[in-house]
């Protein structure tokens, strides 16, 4: 075991403390990564607050990780010391069920091991995430950060990026009329990726306060959902709506914005249930579907696509001493557009 510094929430909703945690000795297929940066995802907030059910505490969140390979196990073939790498939402899966064999490890039938707030298959010990100086991960769950990409701005792509890229690919955003609800961490990356894929992109935000940014990131149109006129003006207009909001929305209003056979894809993950009327779906054959992050092969394809298109997250890089402020501002939608912790330079003994 190797000791490493980490930021840990001792109890649900509690302030983070600097602690020492243990990382396992390298197995033959493991990679040891010196973490440089960790993005702060709204899912971290949900889990620290137990919005989705009981969590495992103490909790060290972080599933948007970039860093440098510091050591490799004897059977590792994909990586060498010094490589620039990333780790996303999962660090293990069974490897033999149908979704795993398809490269959709995030839907492993035998419960994939989450990067944090999960349990290792081997001994049931809790997993600890990216708010720490180093991490040991099976090589299959490590991806390559393209050389041209800034390591800090790449970090959010490991969760936010793949979570929006996967459904935009699955529902064929290219050439379609696509709406993105919420200009937050996921939403702003979705605007960039959907635009790069060749979609006509409309942002549906609570207000027009981020309109100039949205248009600069590639949106063609930008509307405020606080204005009831928006729902009349855009009725029936979208082939695809990607909802990135972490709160419950009045679904009937949004379903009315879909064209016939359009899809409302939900990646936002609020604690409370949604409700909607069947008529909003049935009469115009609209679909409500979900999407869960993405598998490892697709995560690498997303990174390569983003590098080729010059896409990364717009970040606010902060020292670990500002984590409480970051959580408050994230809860209040006051971040433009993703907080990234500068782990290597500020998580110090």
Question: Residue 159, interface with Zn ion (CB under 5 A)?
Answer: yes
Task: Choose which of 330, 341, 343, 347 interacts with ligand NAP (CB under 6 A).
Answer: 330
Concatenated DSSP letters for 290-312? E-----HHHHHHHHHHHHHHT--
Residue 218 or residue 268: which is nearer to Zn ion going by CB? 268
The gap between the terminal CA atoms of the chain, to the nearest Å, is 18
Task: Choose which of 8, 33, 42, 118 interacts with ligand NAP (CB under 6 A).
Answer: 42
Asked whether the beta carbons of 311 and 196 are under 8 A apart, the reply is yes
* CA dihedral sign of residues 340, 17, 90, 2: positive
Task: Choose which of 4, 43, 47, 266 interacts with Zn ion (CB under 5 A).
Answer: 43
Residue 5 or residue 183: which is nearer to ligand NAP going by CB? 183
With CB cut-offs between 5 and 8 Å by kind, which of Zn ion, ligand NAP, none does residue 67 bind?
none
At residue 274, the 3 state secondary structure works out as coil
Question: Residue 195, interface with ligand NAP (CB under 6 A)?
Answer: no
* CA dihedral sign of residues 327, 213, 86, 179: positive
Asked whether the beta carbons of 343 and 38 are under 8 A apart, the reply is yes
Question: Residue 163, interface with ligand NAP (CB under 6 A)?
Answer: yes
217-276 positions binding ligand NAP, by CB under 6 A: 244-247, 267-270
Of 37, 39, 28, 5, residue with least CA distance to 76: 28
Residue 267 or residue 320: which is nearer to ligand NAP going by CB? 267
Site string for Zn ion, 103-142 (x = CB under 5 A): ----------------------------------------
Of 3, 1, 318, 7, residue with least CA distance to 132: 7
Contacts with Zn ion by CB under 5 A lie at 41, 43, 159
Contacts with ligand NAP by CB under 6 A lie at 41-43, 46, 159, 163, 182-187, 205-206, 210, 244-247, 267-270, 291-293, 330, 333
């Amino acid at each position: 075991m190797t000791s490493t510094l980490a930021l840990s929430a001792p109890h649900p909703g509690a302030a983070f403390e600097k602690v020492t945690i243990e990382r396992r000795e390298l197995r033959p297929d493991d990679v040891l990564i010196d973490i440089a940066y960790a993005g702060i995802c709204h899912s971290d907030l949900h889990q620290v607050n137990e919005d989705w059910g009981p969590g495992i505490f103490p909790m060290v969140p972080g599933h948007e990780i970039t860093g440098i390979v510091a050591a490799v196990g004897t059977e590792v073939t994909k990586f060498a010391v010094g490589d620039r790498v990333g780790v996303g939402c999962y660090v293990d899966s069974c490897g033999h069920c149908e979704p795993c064999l398809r490269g959709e490890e995030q839907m492993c039938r035998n419960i994939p091991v989450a990067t944090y707030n999960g349990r290792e298959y081997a001994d049931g010990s809790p997993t600890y995430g990216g708010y720490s100086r180093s991490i040991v991960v099976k090589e299959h769950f490590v991806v390559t950060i393209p050389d041209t990409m800034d390591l800090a701005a790449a970090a959010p792509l490991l969760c936010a990026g793949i979570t929006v890229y996967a459904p935009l690919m699955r529902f064929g955003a290219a050439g379609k009329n696509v709406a993105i609800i919420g200009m937050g961490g996921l939403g702003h990356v979705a605007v960039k990726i959907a635009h790069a894929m060749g979609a006509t992109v409309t942002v549906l935000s609570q207000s027009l306060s981020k309109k100039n940014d949205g248009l600069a990131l590639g949106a063609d149109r930008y509307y405020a959902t606080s204005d009831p006129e928006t729902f009349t003006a855009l009725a029936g207009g979208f082939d695809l709506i990607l909802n990135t909001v972490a709160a419950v929305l009045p679904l009937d209003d949004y379903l009315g914005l879909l064209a016939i056979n359009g899809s409302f894809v939900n990646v936002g993950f609020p604690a409370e249930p949604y409700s909607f009327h069947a008529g909003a779906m049935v009469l115009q054959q609209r679909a409500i579907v979900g999407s869960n992050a993405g598998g490892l092969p697709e995560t690498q394809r997303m990174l390569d696509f983003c590098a080729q298109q010059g896409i990364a997250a717009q970040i606010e890089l902060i020292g670990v001493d500002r984590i409480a402020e970051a959580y408050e501002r994230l809860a209040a939608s006051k971040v433009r557009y993703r907080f990234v912790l500068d782990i290597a330079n500020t998580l110090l003994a």
